[in-house]
Structure 1
Amino acid sequence: MSDILVVCPQCGKVNRAGREKLAGGSRPDCGACGAPLFPGVIEARDDAAFQQHVARSSLPIVVDFWAAWCGPCKAMAPQFAAAARQLDASARFIKVDTEKLRETAARFSIRSIPTLVMISEGKEIARQAGATNANAIVHWAQSHMQRA
C-alpha cells in the first residue's frame, strides 16, 4: 500500500501517512506543528484553507455546507461528527459555514443547506441536500468512496 497525503488542519502543511498504519489504527500527528492529523470534523477557517485540503489531500473529502442560523444544520452537526468518528481516517470531514466562506459556497453552487458534498481529487463526485442522521451519512459516504 502507498502513502497518502494529509493536510494538517492546524498549520496547513502536507504530511505523508502510511495507509497500512492508518488501517491498523495509528493516528499520526503533523510533522511540522505536532497537531493531530485526524481530529474528527474540521471547520474550514477560510476559502484558501478549504482549497488547500481539496487540492492536496489524497483522501476523499466529505463537506457539510451549513450556516449558524439554520435549524436543520444545527440538528445535523452532531450526526456529521458521529459519522466522522465512524469513518475516521478513511475520509476527511470538513464543515463549511456558507456565511463565512461565500466564495467556496458559490464555487459549489450551494442553494440549500445543509448540503453534503463528496470531493475526490479536487472534483465533486456526489451531493445530497437535507439533514440526515449519522448512519445515513456513513452509508452515503461509503457508497461514494468506492468511486473516489
Structure 2
Amino acid sequence: MNTLIPATLVLSLSLAPMKTVEVPELPENVVKLFKAEQDVSRHQILLFTASWCPACVQLKNNEFPALKAKNWEIGADKSSHIRVIDVDQHQGLSDKYNIQSLPTLVLVIDGKEVKRSGSLNAYSIAEMFYNRK
C-alpha cells in the first residue's frame, strides 16, 4: 500500500523555521585553560565515533556547528575541546574506555574518566564539559 503525503504537509515541513541552539559562553577561567595546550589535555571530551554510524554523523552535523560558532575546537587533536576518535582506527583507545555503543562522549579530567554519555545536544555537551550535570 502506498501512502501519499499531502503536498501542503510537505511544504509546511520544509518551510518550518530551524531551531537555534544556544550554547553557554565559556567562563574566563576555561578560556584561559584552552590557551595552553598542556592544560587542554587535562579537561577534554572524547567522542568515540565511526564513519558508518548514522547517529554519529547526525551529532556532528546538527550539534557541532553551534559549538564551533562558540570557538570550540573539535577534531582529532589532543588539544581540542572535543577529541574525535574513530573506533575503527583507534581500537586500543576504544578498548581502554570500554566503548560499547556509538556515539559515546567521555569527559576526561586529569586523565580520569569523570562522566560518559551517548548522543547529546550542543547545550548538554557544554554542560557535560563544564561538569555541571
**Under a length normalisation based on structure 2, what TM-score does the superposition of the two structures give?**
0.59
Checking the alignment, whether the CA contact within 8 Å between 2:46 and 2:105 is kept in structure 1 is yes
Question: Residues 107 and 128 of structure 2 are in contact (CA less than 8 Å); yes or no, is this contact kept in structure 1?
Answer: no
Distance 1:113 1:71 in 2: 9
- Distance in 2 (alpha carbons) for counterparts of 1:86 and 1:62: 16
| Count of aligned positions | 95
- After TM superposition, the structure 1 = structure 2 runs for residues 1-148 of structure 1, keeping only pairs within 5 Å, are 22-23=31-32, 57-59=38-40, 60-78=43-61, 79-80=63-64, 82-83=66-67, 85-86=69-70, 88=72, 92-129=81-118, 131-144=119-132
Larger-gyration structure (1/2) = 2
Identical columns (%): 22
Tell whether the 8 Å contact from 2:107 to 2:114 is kept in structure 1 after alignment. Answer: yes
Q: Distance in 1 between matches of 2:68 and 2:105?
A: 13
Q: For residue 99 of structure 2, what is the amino acid of its counterpart? A: I
Match of 1:31 in 2: none
Alpha-carbon separation, structure 2, partners of 1:81 and 1:62 = 16
User: What secondary structure sits across from 1:58 in the alignment?
Assistant: helix
Higher relative contact order (CA 8 A, sep 6+): 2
CA contact (8 A) 1:73 1:113 kept: yes
Distance 1:87 1:119 in 2: 20
Pairwise CA RMSD: 3.0
Q: SS at the partner of 1:106?
A: helix
- CA displacement, residues 47-96 of structure 1 (integer Å, 9 cap, x when unaligned): xxxxxxxxxx323011111000000000001314533553748x722000
Which blocks of at least 5 consecutive residues in structure 2 are unaligned?
1-27, 74-79
TM-score normalised by length of structure 1: 0.53
| Paired residues of 2:56 and 2:102 also in contact (CA < 8 A) | yes
